[in-house]
Chain A
Amino acid sequence: MPSTSPGAAPRSPGREPAVEVTGLVKRYGTKPVKTAVDGLDLTVARSTVTAVLGPNGAGKTTTIETCEGYRRPDAGTVRVLGLDPVADAARLRPRIGVMLQSGGIYAGARADEMLRHTATLHAHPVDVDLLIERLGLGSCGRTSYRRLSGGQQQRLALAMAVVGRPELVFLDEPTAGLDPQARHATWDLVRELRADGVGVVLTTHFMDEAEQLADDVAIIDGGRVIAQGSPEALCRGGAENTLRFTGRPGLDLASLLKALPAGSAASEPASGSYRVDGTIDPQLLATVASWCAQNGVLPDAIAVERHTLEDVFLELTGKELRA
């Protein structure tokens, strides 16, 4: 059913964005009041993978949990699949899958028991045996949840989030504490979800995870989205890149600078080791190469350093330690 809230544009059913957060404010506590989310806007398209990044305490989990219906916004609106997560909770719940940051499972339950039970709560669940095999949960045997390894606990929670064939899943740090094998199994599952048309919103502290998986990255800090875009766009737009090469020490950098486009910088941070900062494109590389030729230098170990998502993240959020 289309949203009927005032001001919302009429849309055909099922075409609303997966998530539409506008001006979300969420405060906790009384004295002192802590503003966890401070006017946050976020739109997530259907059937895409969106990674929400941010330092600890940035407001990631609060935002996700507001979308899941756990918290009532102090201001702003939240729509998930076109529904209000609090007022329309009963209609929304069967359509979303949720993996909490930790816990959520009976200490005495066995993995397959818990997964089968979760499947029973849904009308058309995924084949449980297939999911057990895919996530390597068969090795859990008759062990109770409290005695499973951290990785097994995480994978079970992930399986429970997807077993009901939801349209959209929220995964709060799905790979925290996983070994590389389990991480890759999780990534494969997320890719398969996306290929099958399931939307995924995940939070993570792993920049490579966001680069690998996400169509869209939202960086949150201080309770707001401070950057959003594809990983490529963020890396391209967020910072300049670097070209490094080595050669004879003491080359005349002034003549190089003259040849380079305006706004570039050239330096020799260590003897014989050169660095050019700027918009590194094929043209610039050619300029550097021909300058080397003019100077009779065979540039050694020439390398273009692209900025990673981690560089962009640290540049935007600073290096100071958080809560």
Chain B
Amino acid sequence: MTATGTFTPRPGAAPLPRMIRAQAALETRMLLRNGEQLLLTVVIPTLLLVLFSAVDIIDTGVGRSVDFLAPGVLALAVMSTAFTGQAIATGFERRYGVLKRLAVSPLPRWGLMAAKTCAVLVTEVLQIVLLCAVAFALGWAPHGNPSAVVLLLILGTAAFSGLGLLMAGTLKAEATLAAANLVFLLLLVGGGVIVPLEKFPEAAQSVLGLLPISALSDGLRDVLQHGAGIPWSDLGILAVWAVLGLGAAARFFRWE
């Protein structure tokens, strides 16, 4: 075989911003292409919003039900992408050696995590745009401080990402799949998303109120439904979850 020069060594990593941008674009495409993920991140939140706004199944308190439901469903959207979707996707990437193969690519690990975060944020923006459009069509009239909303969404994303990655990096892929869906369902019911926390017994309320989903849905509701300023206690709960979750994920995540 004579040399053709096609493969003559000329190694080198691409510039870091280019690598992260490309990885983020790929991760986003993988998220959006996955049918099961879309069911979780788009179909279920949209259906819940439409169904419970239109049909008076649950007593959502004073005011129109869409004003109660929209903030809860936005919190659900964040959880579905940052926690459930990310945990399942990352769990299977770990299982099928995708993370292992990426570990020997020129992209550093922190670059991969940055790209994954970008993919989650892009997906969330798409979800939020869609859900807000549906909510407005249902007559939603939000109030409040947009920067408080953004702060809640970002801290919520950090908290759920940490927990999702912790699960994906420590459990088997099948266990992650089952557990992430179960947690999604439990938090959907018990986290103030569509069922007001006041419906639960007093003792349960104080515990449920500390869950990240409750803090996020309650904080969003305080701002968007009741026009509150910065909901510090909910932000505080989310910050604690974010620190614990991301810290534990960084400590215990196993790449193989």
Q: Is A109 an interface residue (CB 8 A)?
A: yes
B8 touches A196 (CB 8 A): yes
Chain B, Cβ-Cβ closest to A131: B6
Query: Contacts A109-B26, A120-B19, A192-B1 hold; do A165 and B10 have CB atoms under 8 A apart?
Result: yes
CB distance from B26 to the nearest CB of A (A): 5
Query: Contacts A93-B105, A124-B10, A162-B7 hold; do A105 and B2 have CB atoms under 8 A apart?
Result: no
Chain A, Cβ-Cβ closest to B102: A104
Pick the interface stretch among A95-103, A256-264, A270-278, A303-311.
A95-103
Give the size category of B's interface with A. 35 or more
Query: Which of B2, B34, B104 is the one whose CB lies under 8 Å from A98?
Result: B104
How far apart sit A130 and B5, CA to CA, in the bound complex (Å)? 13
User: What residues of B have a CB within 8 angstroms of the CB of A102 in the complex?
Assistant: 97
- How many residue pairs link A and B with beta carbons under 8 A? The number is 125
List A residues 81-121 near B (Cβ within 8 Å): 90, 93-96, 98, 100, 102-109, 113, 117-118, 120-121
User: What residues of B have a CB within 8 angstroms of the CB of A98 in the complex?
Assistant: 101, 104
A195 touches B4 (CB 8 A): yes
CB distance from B7 to the nearest CB of A (A): 4
How far apart sit A106 and B1, CA to CA, in the bound complex (Å)? 34
User: What residues of A have a CB within 8 angstroms of the CB of B107 in the complex?
Assistant: 121
Q: Is A198 an interface residue (CB 8 A)?
A: yes
User: How many residues on the A side are at the interface (Cβ–Cβ under 8 A)?
Assistant: 45
User: What residues of A have a CB within 8 angstroms of the CB of B98 in the complex?
Assistant: 103-106
B12 touches A123 (CB 8 A): yes
A104 touches B96 (CB 8 A): yes
A106 touches B93 (CB 8 A): yes
Residue from the set A68, A98, A100, A122 with the largest chain B CB neighbour count within 10 Å: A122
User: What residues of B have a CB within 8 angstroms of the CB of A103 in the complex?
Assistant: 96-98, 100-101
How far apart sit A162 and B11, CA to CA, in the bound complex (Å)? 10
How far apart sit A117 and B256, CA to CA, in the bound complex (Å)? 22
User: What residues of B have a CB within 8 angstroms of the CB of A122 in the complex?
Assistant: 11-14, 106
A120 touches B18 (CB 8 A): yes
Chain A, Cβ-Cβ closest to B99: A104
CB distance from B18 to the nearest CB of A (A): 7
Query: Contacts A93-B105, A108-B33, A188-B1 hold; do A124 and B12 have CB atoms under 8 A apart?
Result: yes
Measuring CB to CB, which residues of chain A are less than 8 angstroms from any residue of chain B? 68-70, 90, 93-96, 98, 100, 102-109, 113, 117-118, 120-124, 126-127, 130, 144, 160, 162, 164-167, 188, 191-198
